[in-house]
Amino acid sequence: MTWKKFAEQPRVAELLAASLRNDRLAHAYLFAGPRGSGKMRMALHLAKSLFCTENKGDACGACLQCRRIDAGNHSDVHIITPDGASIKIDQIRALQKEMAMRSVESFYKVYIIEHIDKMTVQAANSLLKFLEEPPSGVIAILLTENSHALLSTILSRCQLVSFSPLPPDWIADKLRAEGIAEGMAKAASQITTYLDEARALSQSEWFAQLRNIMIQLIQDIKMPNSTVLFTIQDFWQKNDRLKEELPLFLDLLILWLRDILYVQVGRLAYLINSDQQDVLQGQALAWTKAELLHAMEVVMDTKNRIERNASPQLALERLVLQIQEG
């Protein structure tokens, strides 16, 4: 792994690599971005780049220093995560003690704090003093998914580095390269920006099954004398998980409706369910554009209802009837 290979966050990687090259590292960084955007991986890479014996200004990932950092037992790299629900003052005190000790092996000491927004007030105040007068050679990397929840005094003492959510195309390509079928890879990449989660989804039998149920439902909805309500009842009986997974089901449904629209306007390159092109093409003839837009609205509305604790079963039946009424 090198700076150049951070394909998911190239801008951040380039920024940090340049700071190292020009010897202009900040004392404290705040890595802010959504879950799964690679903040910890980047923080560890920055740490490795300071200690790696093989790759100056970068990390080889294979030397003893790199491996010790990856394994979490490097004496000059400390990682703090919330102890239970919060980061407590004792953790910050212990960290300061550790950082005050001169390193025997190198000039640098690095500490990484995950979920920095979860500090107690006392812990935050204690850290703040530490950020104001950093011992030389000490580099702080603070991670958060929620920089808005941070004290402005902490924000103002760090260099803010923003991480973007992973682009769906990037996730889909990655999954495809791992051998996951195109349709599944694309659908999962639209549902979560978290690579591990997308991988787990696209590999699970349940996800494939949920997608099949969705395709069946949307097919039945447009049938004359539709028996779709019976079909739903059948689904409920056979699939216990459908109730809890209904939000996921609705996400898949939205993607599908959008795909029908794409087929209608000839934008086949945009299809998420590209492995189902034949089915989509058939359905494109059965829906008008207005009906599709209405259906998408109904699905969004159903999502909101479920978030507000509506009964999943009733919400889905209502959705079917509203879509059929057009």
Interacting residues toward Zn ion by CB under 5 A: 52, 54, 60, 63, 66
CB of 60 to Zn ion, least distance (A): 4
> What span, in angstroms and rounded, lies between the C-alpha atoms of 326 and 320?
10
The region, left, alpha or beta by phi > 0 then psi within -120 to 50, assigned to residue 183 is alpha
Our CB check for Zn ion shows the closer of 57 and 165 to be: 57
Q: Which long-range contacts (CB under 8 A, 24 or more apart) does 303-308 make?
A: 303/247, 303/250, 306/246, 306/247, 306/250, 307/247
> What span, in angstroms and rounded, lies between the C-alpha atoms of 94 and 98?
6
CB of 9 to Zn ion, least distance (A): 20
Which residue type does 180 have? Answer: I
Check: CB of residue 99 under 8 Å from CB of residue 77: no
Structure tokens at 269: 């390159």
Our CB check for Zn ion shows the closer of 43 and 280 to be: 43
CB of 131 to Zn ion, least distance (A): 28
Our CB check for Zn ion shows the closer of 55 and 274 to be: 55
**Residue corresponding to tokens 């189902």:** 276
- Would you give the DSSP letter of residue 75? T
Residue 134 has phi, psi (to 5 degrees) of: -70, 135
CB of 137 to Zn ion, least distance (A): 19
Our CB check for Zn ion shows the closer of 54 and 90 to be: 54
Our CB check for Zn ion shows the closer of 68 and 115 to be: 68
Our CB check for Zn ion shows the closer of 1 and 279 to be: 1
Our CB check for Zn ion shows the closer of 54 and 178 to be: 54
> What span, in angstroms and rounded, lies between the C-alpha atoms of 109 and 50?
9
Our CB check for Zn ion shows the closer of 8 and 58 to be: 58
Q: Write the CB contacts of 264 (distance below 8 Å, at least 6 apart in sequence).
A: 284, 287, 289, 292
CB of 79 to Zn ion, least distance (A): 18
CB of 134 to Zn ion, least distance (A): 25
CA dihedral sign, ordered 278, 280, 282, 285 = negative
Our CB check for Zn ion shows the closer of 66 and 99 to be: 66
CB of 29 to Zn ion, least distance (A): 20
CB of 77 to Zn ion, least distance (A): 13
CA distances, 125 to each of 93, 129, 130, 147, 191 (Å): 11, 7, 9, 17, 38
Cβ atoms within 10 Å of 117's Cβ, excluding its own = 20
Burial classification of residue 152, based on how many CB atoms lie within 10 Å of its CB (0-12 exposed, 13-18 middle, 19 or more buried): exposed
